[in-house]
Amino acid sequence: SKVLLTGGTGFIASHILDHLLKCGFDVVVTARSQAKGERILASIANAPNVINSIGCKVTYAVVDNIAQPGAFDEAITTNLPLDYCIHTASPYQLSFSDPLNDCLLPAVNGTISLLSSLHQHASPFLSRVVFTSSSAAILNPPHHRDVYDESSWPDDEVLNWDMAKDPASAPGDATYRASKKFAEQAAWKFMEEHRPSWDLATINNTYTFGPLPRSLEVVRGGTGGEDVQVKVNTSNERIVDCLTGKWAEEIPPTAPVFTFVDVRDVAVAHVRAMTRPEAGGKRFYVVGGYFSNARIAGIVHGLLDKKGEKEEEKDLAEMLCGDCLMYNDFPDNHWSFDNTRSKEVLGLEYRELSQSVVDTVRSLRAMGIGK
Ligand code: NDP
């Protein structure tokens, strides 16, 4: 079976690609340039362990801006028949100089144009589209619900298009959060209006940590090649900041309560949501647990303290998770999450924060970031 995976250079997409290959799918990834597409192919060639014995085929198609009308037409028509599509491509930054053109339109119009193009060209074979939405399309800060699950959406009073276009009048990341809310709503509306022969599932993952993509561009400068420049995805940035000493003076406060999930669990969620018949037509709130910056710092510092000693790979996470996860840094009666559907329908078993942070740190160090 063949899968179209959009945003192939992305952090989450890179792990979805690995999992698709392990499961024996052929994959067409979209990338914004030929150079990026080639980098993805090279990263796979250099990691033969991700390809299963069936020998899956990976190709790429260039889609440089998903906001352009018909952006996906060529990628789709030249790769038929397609059995599935996973749509991860979307701008993810905490602020945008041009919120409408840099974030909202690519997120919303990109989703609609992908679905329209699939409807028009890929329908006879396609069975499902999985859309990477976000917990941003579930949570309702600052007026939190007691317990969040898939039935929740942010109220219009707390997150609307006007705020998203003019983030000066709204909390910091309102543009990004609104882009996810409106893109997911547009996707469900498309399904209702057009009733295609295939169905839709969404993965509403929360803040995602985990190892960096192998295809990331690493630029080395300096005489000894010691200056390393890597564009790390937004959600891993706080682990980079901690590891590189930006929190040495003070650990920045986290929102009172925040949740995380490991990227490898998010990848499994996408692939199972794609293939399990009972996942069709459903949203999945994919969340592994709570975190705070203090808890991350505890894990990272535990890891740094162990530097020089012989690290027993197997026991590392266990060794670190003791004290640092005991911090009681959340307010009493904070909101909680219900991830039952993701466990029951997708069979997810979530990794712990310590495992996720430790593996992220290892991957950052392998790229030359942090000591
Ligand atoms: P990345 O920034 O690593 O990946 C985003 C991908 O989208 C990249 O491949 C990027 O291409 C592509 N992209 C962005 N804008 C455009 C555009 N205008 N035209 C074409 N391609 C575009 O982010 P993540 O992997 O973290 O995010 C992937 C998805 O997961 C997004 O939809 C995000 O909203 C969602 N998500 C992420 C969470 C997280 O914590 N990381 C949590 C919940 C949801 P390029 O690299 O070339 O710029």
3-state DSSP of the chain: CEEEEECCCCHHHHHHHHHHHHCCCEEEEEECCHHHHHHHHHHHHCCHHHCCCCCCCEEEEECCCCCCCCCCHHHHHCCCCCCEEEECCCCCCCCCCCHHHHHHHHHHHHHHHHHHHHHHHCCCCCCEEEEECCHHHCCCCCCCCCEECCCCCCCCCCCCHHHHHCHHHCCCCHHHHHHHHHHHHHHHHHHHHHCCCCEEEEEEECEEECCCCCCCCEEEECCCCCEEEECCCHHHHHHHHHHCCCCCCCCCCCCCCEEEEEHHHHHHHHHHHHHCHHHCCCEEEECCEEECHHHHHHHHHHHHHCCCCCCCHHHHHHHHHHHHCCCCCCCCCCCEECCHHHHHCCCCCCCCHHHHHHHHHHHHHHCCCCC
Please give the Cα distance from 14 to 195 (Å, whole number): 30
Please give the Cα distance from 240 to 231 (Å, whole number): 11
282 shares a domain with 358: no
Does 344 map to a domain? no
Sign of CA dihedral 16, 17, 22, 26: positive
12 shares a domain with 120: yes
Residue 186 has pLDDT above 50, yes or no: yes
Domain of residue 25: give its range: 2-210+261-289
HSE-CB for 107 with a 13 A CA cutoff: 26
Q: How far, in Å, is the centroid of ligand 1 from the Cα of 325? A: 29
Q: How far, in Å, is the centroid of ligand 1 from the Cα of 10? A: 5
Please give the Cα distance from 98 to 105 (Å, whole number): 10
Sign of CA dihedral 32, 38, 41, 42: negative
Give the number of other Cβ atoms within 10 Å of residue 42's Cβ.
Answer: 12
Q: Is the pTM of this model over 0.90?
A: yes
The band of 180, judged by pLDDT with boundaries at 50, 70 and 90, is: very high
Mean pLDDT of 291-314: 69
Mean pLDDT of 28-54: 82
Q: How far, in Å, is the centroid of ligand 1 from the Cα of 255? A: 23
198 shares a domain with 301: no
Mean pLDDT of 35-39: 94
The pLDDT, as a whole number, for residue 333 is 82
CATH number of the structural domain spanning residue 110: 3.40.50.720
108 shares a domain with 238: no
Residues lining ligand 1, judged by CB closer than 6 Å? Answer: 7, 9-13, 32, 36, 63, 65-67, 88-92, 106, 132, 134, 180, 205, 207-208, 233, 235
Mean pLDDT of 47-73: 83
247 shares a domain with 131: no
Interface confidence (ipTM) of the complex: 0.99
Task: Flag the least confident range among 176-180, 242-246, 350-354.
Answer: 242-246
Sign of CA dihedral 16, 17, 18, 21: positive
Please give the Cα distance from 254 to 260 (Å, whole number): 12
Q: Which residue has the tokens 């430790």?
A: 358
The pLDDT, as a whole number, for residue 330 is 79
Burial 255-274 (b: 16+ CB within 10 A, else e): eebebbbbbbbbbbbbbbbb
The band of 274, judged by pLDDT with boundaries at 50, 70 and 90, is: very high
Q: Which two tokens stand for residue 151?
A: 């039935």
Q: How far, in Å, is the centroid of ligand 1 from the Cα of 95? A: 14
Contact call for residues 172 and 95 (beta carbons, < 8 A): yes
Does 163 map to a domain? yes
Task: Flag the least confident range among 246-255, 257-266, 299-308, 355-364.
Answer: 299-308
126 shares a domain with 94: yes
Return mean pLDDT, the chain: 88
Residue 326 has pLDDT above 50, yes or no: no
Q: How far, in Å, is the centroid of ligand 1 from the Cα of 113? A: 17
Residue 194 has pLDDT above 90, yes or no: yes
Q: How far, in Å, is the centroid of ligand 1 from the Cα of 88? A: 6
Ligand 1 atom at minimum distance from 179 CA? 34
312 shares a domain with 276: no
Does 338 map to a domain? no
Please give the Cα distance from 70 to 184 (Å, whole number): 19
The pLDDT, as a whole number, for residue 84 is 98
325 shares a domain with 306: yes
Residue 190 makes CB contacts below 8 A (sequence gap 6+) with: 111, 112, 115, 116
Residue 307 has pLDDT above 90, yes or no: no
The pLDDT, as a whole number, for residue 340 is 98
99 cis-preceded (ω within 30 degrees of 0): no
128 shares a domain with 230: no
Ligand 1 atom at minimum distance from 14 CA? 25
Residue 80 has pLDDT above 50, yes or no: yes
Contact call for residues 335 and 145 (beta carbons, < 8 A): yes
Using CA atoms, how far residue 188 sits from 111, 131, 143, 242, in Å, is: 11, 10, 25, 39
Residue 319 has pLDDT above 60, yes or no: no
Q: Which of 5, 11, 38, 286, when mutated, tests ligand 1's pocket best, judged by the most ligand atoms within 8 Å of its CB?
A: 11
Ligand 1 atom at minimum distance from 93 CA? 2
Residue 310 has pLDDT above 70, yes or no: no
The pLDDT, as a whole number, for residue 170 is 66
Number of domain units in the chain: 2
Q: Which two tokens stand for residue 219?
A: 């630029």
144 shares a domain with 41: yes
81 cis-preceded (ω within 30 degrees of 0): yes
174 shares a domain with 85: yes
- Please state the length of the chain: 371
Does 150 map to a domain? yes
Residue 242 has pLDDT above 80, yes or no: yes
Fill in the amino acid letter for 54.
I
- Looking at the chain, the whole-number percentage of residues with pLDDT higher than 70 is 86
Q: How far, in Å, is the centroid of ligand 1 from the Cα of 314? A: 32
Cα-Cα-Cα-Cα torsion 155, 156, 160, 162, nearest 10 degrees, comes to: -150
